[in-house]
Each structure stands twice: as structure tokens, then as C-alpha cells.
């Protein structure tokens, strides 16, 4: 890995939310950035009373990098989410060291599976269903993570997560390779002491204004009766940028645990980005599971 990338590799690869952040301090090899978003979202569901669910949220994050030597850096990141009614949630809180062989960190952060599951998690609301259980999810406590980039195209991650109760530890390993042609291929495996397992395979292709990705997961997860059962999950994501500001996104998600559908829907989103800071979106989810309602979400998001 190039030395110039050491200071920012983890923050760029793990938490895309910091991409819009502003530098508030940069002196003597130490940088501090502050960022976040204000996002108002209203969900309309097909109910008799025509109720509207407020799903608004705000996030604020702080990221720091300090140069220790030519081959060693230190970094830290934390992010909080605030919802209406003063509900506050700690999303991320981790710190670590960047070296010539990769980055090592500990805290509340993403597991190794996330860099692969994120390939189809591109919608504002209705995507990101390949994190089937906690051990394969983002924002997990007590997580030790290694992330390294090799030959400028292969990113490898490995995590060990210590459970907060007995016999709940887990580990994960993933690899993501990016070809010059615009093709990305990813594979991840997660194994937990709870007997939950997940293997995720994903492929993505981007060319000009088009992006398409497909991810497939299989393994073992708890069913509604808390019994370990077979699990399969499919997610397809398509995006086309008609103009610099306007894009359309389509999502297909299907998931089964113990031969019972836990997810089965189609979603389409129209998104308009006025600039890098503010966007509007409208997304509609057509649910295919009996008894589950369709969902329409409209929102405005401001990044800072």
C-alpha cells in the first residue's frame, strides 16, 4: 500500500458517511474532520387510517488521523444518530493504527462481510439485506478489524468480534477485487459460536452512467422459533444516472429462512441531487409477502 494512503485507508473504506466531512484542524501531522447529515423522511403505508410514519434522523461524525512516523499512523472515528424524540444511538466508535501492511482497529465498527454486502446496498431506504444476523452486520461492538489493500486492487478484511454474552464470539473474512474494466468481485464468510454462518458472493459492474450489482448469501440463521435453519438471500441493485443530478435506482430482495420468506419485494427510487450537499428522493417498495404492506418513502437529505 502506498504510504500516502496509510492515513485515510480505514476511514475511506469503512465509513462512507465521512466523505462529505469538513476539515476543522490540520496541523503538525494531525487532521480532524467533522461531518454528518440531516435527513427528514416520511413513510406512507397502505393502511386504512392513512398514517404517516416519521423516519427522520440526523447524524454527526468525527474522524481523526495523526502521523506517528513515515510508516505508522493513528486514527479514530465516532458517529452518533439522533431521531425525533431525542433518541440518540452510537453508530460507530473505533480507533486503531495504520501500517504498511494494513490497518488494525478495535471498537464498534463494521464486520468483514460489510464490504461485500455494501455492493448492493445503494438505495436510500430499501436495500442492505445481506447482513442477515449480527455477526455479519455493520456497527458491532467489541470488533477487532484488519483491512489491507494489495496490488492496488484487492482489499482484504478480517474481523473477530467478542460476544457480550457467553458463546457468542464470531469471526469473518472477506476479499474484494476491482478490475480496471469496471467489474468488482467480492466474497465473504462469517462464522459464529451461535452456529450461525453466512457466505456472501457478490459481483458489480459500472460503466459510464450505469451501475449494476448482485449479491447472494447462504448459510444458517435462527428462524422464528429460535432454531438454526437453512438461509438463502438474494439482492439485486441497478442504478442509472440520467443526468448529473437525476438518477433512478431499482432493488430486488428475496430472503428465506427455513423455507419461509422473510424478505420478498421490489423497490424503485427516484433521486435528485441538487449538489453534493442536498438531495431529494422518493422510493416505493412493492411487498410480495402476504400480509405485508407496501411502503412509500419521501425525503430530503442534507450532508455537511
pLDDT of residue 47: 62
Q: How large is the average pLDDT for residues 32-50?
A: 85
Tell which residue, 200, 201, 55, 204, has the closest CA to residue 132: 200
Bridge partners (DSSP) listed for residue 246: 272
Q: How large is the average pLDDT for residues 11-32?
A: 71
Q: Which residue in the block uniquely carries the three cell numbers 464498534?
A: 108
Give residue-wise pLDDT tens across range 66-98: 999 999 999 999 999 999 887 899 999 999 999
pLDDT of residue 99: 95
pLDDT of residue 294: 92
Tell which residue, 171, 207, 201, 172, has the closest CA to residue 187: 201
pLDDT at 200 over 60: yes
pLDDT at 11 over 70: no
What is the C-alpha to C-alpha distance for residues 172 and 139, in angstroms, rounded to an integer? Answer: 14
Tell which residue, 127, 116, 236, 234, has the closest CA to residue 177: 116
pLDDT of residue 86: 75
pLDDT of residue 51: 78
DSSP annotation string for 103-168: EEEEEEE--TTHHHHGGG--SSSS------SGGGSSSEEEEEEEEEEETTTEEEEEEEE--SSTT-
Cβ–Cβ < 8 Å for 116, 186: yes
What is the C-alpha to C-alpha distance for residues 199 and 244, in angstroms, rounded to an integer? Answer: 36
What is the C-alpha to C-alpha distance for residues 121 and 251, in angstroms, rounded to an integer? Answer: 9
Out of 41-55, 102-116, 270-284, which region has the weakest mean confidence (pLDDT)? 41-55
Q: How large is the average pLDDT for residues 228-255?
A: 97
pLDDT at 14 over 90: no
What is the C-alpha to C-alpha distance for residues 1 and 9, in angstroms, rounded to an integer? Answer: 9
Phi/psi of residue 118, each to 5°?
Answer: -65, -15
Q: How large is the average pLDDT for residues 54-67?
A: 95
Q: Where are the domains of the chain?
A: 3-303
Quickly name the fold that domain 3-303 has.
Porin (2.40.160)
Amino acid at each position: 500500500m502506498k504510504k500516502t494512503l496509510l492515513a485515510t485507508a480505514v476511514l475511506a473504506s469503512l465509513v462512507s458517511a465521512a466523505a462529505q466531512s469538513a476539515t476543522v484542524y490540520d496541523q503538525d501531522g494531525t487532521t480532524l474532520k467533522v461531518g454528518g447529515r440531516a435527513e427528514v423522511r416520511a413513510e406512507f403505508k397502505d393502511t386504512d387510517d392513512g398514517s404517516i410514519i416519521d423516519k427522520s434522523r440526523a447524524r454527526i461524525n468525527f474522524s481523526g488521523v495523526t502521523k506517528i512516523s513515515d510508516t505508522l499512523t493513528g486514527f479514530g472515528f465516532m458517529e452518533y444518530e439522533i431521531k425525533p424524540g431525542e433518541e440518540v444511538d452510537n453508530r460507530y466508535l473505533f480507533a486503531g493504527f495504520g501500517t504498511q501492511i494494513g490497518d488494525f482497529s478495535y471498537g464498534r465498527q463494521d464486520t468483514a462481510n460489510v464490504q461485500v454486502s455494501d455492493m448492493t446496498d445503494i438505495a436510500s431506504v430499501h436495500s442492505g439485506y445481506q447482513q442477515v444476523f449480527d455477526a455479519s452486520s455493520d456497527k458491532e461492538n467489541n470488533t477487532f478489524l484488519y483491512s489491507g489493500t494489495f496490488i492496488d486492487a484487492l482489499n482484504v478484511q478480517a474481523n473477530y468480534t467478542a460476544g457480550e454474552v457467553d458463546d457468542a464470539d464470531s469471526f469473518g473474512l472477506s476479499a474484494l477485487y476491482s478490475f480496471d474494466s469496471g467489474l468488482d468481485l467480492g466474497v465473504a464468510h462469517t462464522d459464529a459460536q451461535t452456529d450461525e454462518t453466512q457466505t456472501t458472493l457478490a459481483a458489480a459492474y459500472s460503466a459510464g452512467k450505469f451501475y449494476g450489482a448482485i449479491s447472494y448469501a447462504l448459510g444458517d440463521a435462527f428462524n422464528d422459533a429460535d432454531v438454526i435453519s437453512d438461509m438463502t438471500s438474494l439482492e439485486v441493485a441497478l442504478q442509472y444516472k440520467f443526468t448529473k443530478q437525476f438518477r433512478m435506482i431499482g432493488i430486488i430482495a428475496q430472503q428465506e429462512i427455513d423455507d419461509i420468506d422473510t424478505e420478498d419485494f421490489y423497490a424503485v427510487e427516484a433521486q435528485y441531487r441538487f449538489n453534493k450537499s442536498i438531495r431529494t428522493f422518493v422510493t416505493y417498495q412493492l411487498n410480495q409477502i402476504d400480509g405485508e404492506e407496501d411502503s412509500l418513502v419521501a425525503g430530503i437529505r442534507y450532508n455537511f
